[in-house]
Amino acid sequence: MKKRTMRQTYSAEHLHFLKKRRQHLVLVWTLRVGLLLLIAGIWELVTALGWVDPFFTSSPSRIARTIAGLYSDGVLFYHIGVTLWETLAGFAIAVGLGYGIALALWWSDVLREVLEPYIVVLNALPKIALGPLIIVWCGTGSKAILFMTVLVGIIVAIMHMLSAFIATDKNKMLLLRSMGASKFQILAKLVVPSSLPAFISMLKVAVGMSWIGSIMGEYIVSRAGLGYLIVYGGQVFKLDLVMSATVLLCLLAAGMYFLVALLEKFLVKNTES
Amino acid sequence: MKKEILRFTDVTYIYHTVRGETIAAQDLSFSVGEGEFVAIIGPSGCGKTTLLSLAAELLKPSEGNVSRTGSCGYMLQKDHLFPWRTIEKNIVLPLEIKKQNTPQNRERAKKLAVKYGLGDFLDSYPSQLSGGMRQRAALIRTLATDPDILLLDEPFSALDYQTRLNVTEDVSEIIRSEGKTALLITHDISEAISLADRILVLTKRPARVAFEHEMDFGDVKNPLKRRETGNFSGWFEVLWKELNI
């Protein structure tokens, strides 16, 4: 391949190709939005016609009203803020700490071999089982929820990054060693940059994990947050509240995933060799 | 007698694995003089790469002694350019590693790149270059620290045939005109004949030097020209037989 050059004038065939491509994108997006509207429409219709009882299923209009109600009560952003904070803080700690631990395990073979079975067991353990312990250790405040979020995210972060670090090209390492590189130089010049794509995919997994962690944490102990609204709504049979909080969760999780995808575009440009 | 850059004296190297030990080389002795281009050929699996690792002092011999004057540059089968670095950043990588990343050294490495046709590609990423260009960039990277000996581990074997002939040509030209000492390891007989001043033939594992030949092409250093001369096929036959003993 020569250097890529931008051509300013395209052939008619290429213009046709571009047009087709645009049409395809428009079609996909129309169908995506259409599907959402269709589901919401049917949902609304069957409840409005009384075919199903909105007491059990709620409905789009009731969800909208509930969210508006939360807003006018001034608690909407309070609950969102609580959950968002727990999730983001847990995410950051899990990712940062997990990355650091993975680096340490890459650095020391002995440490890795010693800790490997423990990590495998911790990974397989359903973290919710530690709920009672966490309450005793951390109390019933947001500290407990944060702890749960970190716990759910960190093991995945460690395992994901460690396998990426270990998969570093042996021949590139040989090359660096032939230049006289120290272990730290190999780490800084090769292992960390070459694992960048794995880092991004780890972030994507960790986004999901931290939402699981924070909502699970709120199920066990909490007085605020979207998870709390869901549990509370369920207990008092306010399904509108349950559905509203779920919709808000969907939006937030999608937003966070989108931010990571944006980061990926920004960071990962030249990775294929 | 020319100055010796590299000398193996009765080198034995044993590989240890859980299943047992393998003697990769036994009582291996040879030397490479300054400015010489030596090629080592051997049957596959005879421990050629081990030998280069010993020469680069990445491995220590179990017995015997490897002595080397000056620094070495290692070039592998694949170019192993780092995809996230531009060609320029790739070329100065050994300078960074050896903490010789001074403006003069960087300038020297860049000049070398420009001299050998990489000037337009300094800001490109490796994925934008052809296989041949990439291998050329890998050679410039190897030369960046001005090593006293180049260790070439089948540097052409990952390329397609046409590119391979061209790159062989390039590399030979660059090494000769920079007056570099080189030790090439290959399983390709014709490549060895077309490049080297002297060829060592190794035995099967454990590797020893079975035969040694001075190439008699006179002033013909160019690989393609050598392939056209009459004694090329003669050498090929000799080495082919020796490899299959």
Domain with residue A127: its CATH number is 1.10.3720.10
pLDDT at position A268 over 50: yes
pLDDT tens-place string over residues A177-195? 999 899 999 999 999 999 9
Average pLDDT on B78-82 reads 91
Mean pLDDT, rounded, of chain A: 90
B155 CA to centre of own chain:
7
| Alpha helices by DSSP H, chain A | 12-48, 54-57, 60-72, 76-107, 109-124, 131-138, 142-166, 170-178, 183-186, 192-194, 196-220, 226-235, 239-267
pLDDT tens-place string over residues A162-173? 999 999 999 999
CA–CA distances in Å: residue B33 to residues A38, B3, B149, B180: 81, 6, 10, 11
A47 and A88 co-located in one domain? no
Predicted local confidence at residue B44, as pLDDT: 76
Size of interface A-B (CB pairs under 8 A): 66
Instruction: State the DSSP string of A127-172.
Output: GGGGHHHHHHHHTTSHHHHHHHHHHHHHHHHHHHHHHHHHTS-HHH
A74 and A44 co-located in one domain? no
A6 falls in which pLDDT band (50, 70, 90)? Answer: low
A104 and A198 co-located in one domain? yes
pLDDT tens-place string over residues A9-68? 788 899 999 999 999 999 999 999 999 999 999 999 999 998 988 888 889 999 999 999
Predicted local confidence at residue A3, as pLDDT: 44
List CB contacts of B77: < 8 A, sequence separation 6 or more: A171, B153, B154, B155, B157, B158
A234 and A139 co-located in one domain? yes
A11 and A68 co-located in one domain? no
How many domains does chain A fold into? 2
A121 touching chain B per CB within 8 A: no
- How much of chain A, in percent, has pLDDT values that exceed 90? 70
How many other CB atoms are there within 10 angstroms of residue B135's CB atom?
26
A92 and A160 co-located in one domain? yes
A32 and A110 co-located in one domain? no
**Who among B80, B121, B128 is closest to A175 (CB)?**
B80
| Chain B residues 156-195 with CB within 8 Å of chain A | none
A17 and A65 co-located in one domain? no
**Who among A3, A179, A273 is closest to B97 (CB)?**
A179
Q: Is B98's CB within 8 Å of A179's CB? A: yes
**Domain, as residue range, for A79:** 60-272
List of chain A residues whose C-beta atoms are within 8 Å of the C-beta of residue B85: 270
Measure A196 CA to nearest chain B CA, in Å: 10
- What is the set of domains in chain B, with CATH numbers? 1-70+181-245 (3.40.50.300)
A65 and A166 co-located in one domain? yes
pLDDT at position A102 over 80: yes
B69 touching chain A per CB within 8 A: no
Q: Is A270's CB within 8 Å of B127's CB? A: yes
A126 touching chain B per CB within 8 A: no
Predicted local confidence at residue A270, as pLDDT: 61
Mean pLDDT, rounded, of chain B: 88
Q: Is B58's CB within 8 Å of A177's CB? A: yes
A65 and A196 co-located in one domain? yes
A5 falls in which pLDDT band (50, 70, 90)? Answer: low
Predicted local confidence at residue A55, as pLDDT: 87
3-state class (DSSP) for residue B166: helix
Task: Say if CB B85 and CB B93 are below 8 A apart.
Answer: yes
